[in-house]
Amino acid sequence: MAELFKGLYFRLVKGDTALALIPSVHSGKDGDSIILQAVTPFGSLQARLPQGGFYEGVGCPVLVSGRNYFGPRGIVMDFESDMLSIKGRVDFGGLQPLSYDIMGPLKYLPLPCRHSVYSMDMGLSGSLAINGREFDFTGGRGYIEGDRGSSFPKKYIWSQSHFEGGSLMMAAASLPAGIRGVTAAVMAGGKEYRLASYLGASAAVLPDGGLLIKQGDSILSLKPQSDPAYAALSAPRKGVMDRSVRESVALKADYEFIWKGKRVFVFQSPCAAYENEYPLFD
């Protein structure tokens, strides 16, 4: 039986404080297991959760494990182990799904990893205590995405940020046959914008860790303004969580978006999410 994974990514932000909670189900010859990774301002934590289930539905899936719930309504945690304790509840409101799959027609290709975006933005109410430290997210904002398959791309760069009046995500990754896949979505001013390789977009990964996506006269750019405070995460390789990648949940970064020759916004985020697994000068 092939080793496969299905994972959800929940990003919770309030002011300059952010958390990422990443529950995932792993299926293989020895059965299923559930792993939770938490990326916090003080590093990353990981634990195995009790047996449970991953339930598909319209929109965001639901993962239930013991007394723990992850889904479109929110997060409920009542978990304690030797290394990790998370207790509390955060409710979600006003989810903003994309109008169509972020992968577009690429979802039909037999890729080792399929990416999904379930909510570009949402309101938060509630708090979580992680190893005794309280994080109150009432009045904050959230984001939900997911991945499934057998392996993360060998090389990829990804970022997500909220801003006044909207949110964005952008990514580029190496795909089989030497193809660089590009996906980006922007919600701004009540409108949805899309840049993607299947719409003619291309991407340049810059030596300073920036990312420039261009689609005709439209450009979305990211420029880091601080050294990423990386935390180590486990990632799947042929279904086995034996690869280490890095994420920053609070990068200071500049973003600019030009749509069909007209600037939509330029802003600096004090708390952007960021992963970069491209070698320097690649």
Q: Which residues contact 30 (CB under 8 A, 6 or more apart)?
A: none
pLDDT band for 2, please (50, 70, 90 cuts).
low
pLDDT at 282 exceeding the cut of 60:
no
Distance in angstroms (rounded) separating the CA atoms of residues 88 and 79: 9
CA proximity to 202, closest of 186, 179, 222, 225: 179
Per-residue model confidence as pLDDT tens digits over 53-68: 999 988 999 999 999 9
- pLDDT above 70 covers what percent of the chain? 98
Question: How many other C-beta atoms are found inside a 10 Å radius of the C-beta of residue 117?
Answer: 22
| pLDDT number for residue 280 | 59
199-208 tens-digit pLDDT: 999 999 999 9
Amino acid at position 64, single letter:
V
Distance (Å, rounded) from C-alpha 33 to C-alpha 154?
A: 24
C-alpha to C-alpha distance for 232 and 246, rounded to whole angstroms: 5
Amino acid at 185: A
> Residue with structure tokens 């952007």?
272
Q: pLDDT tens digits for 63-84?
A: 999 999 999 999 999 999 998 9
Residues 6+ apart with CB under 8 A from 56: none
pLDDT per residue over 256-266, tens digit each?
Answer: 999 999 999 99
Domain range list for the chain: 4-276
- For the stretch 82-136, pLDDT in tens is 989 999 999 999 999 999 999 999 999 889 999 999 999 999 999 999 999 999 9
- 127-168 pLDDT per residue, tens: 999 999 999 999 999 999 999 999 999 999 999 999 999 999
Kindly state the percentage of the chain with pLDDT values over 90. 84
pTM for the model? 0.96
Please report the pLDDT score of residue 281 as a whole number: 46
What's the Cα-to-Cα distance from 241 to each of 34, 236, 246, 281, rounded to whole Å? Answer: 12, 4, 14, 27
Phi, psi of 98 (to 5 degrees): -75, 160
Q: Are 112 and 154 in contact (CB under 8 A)?
A: no
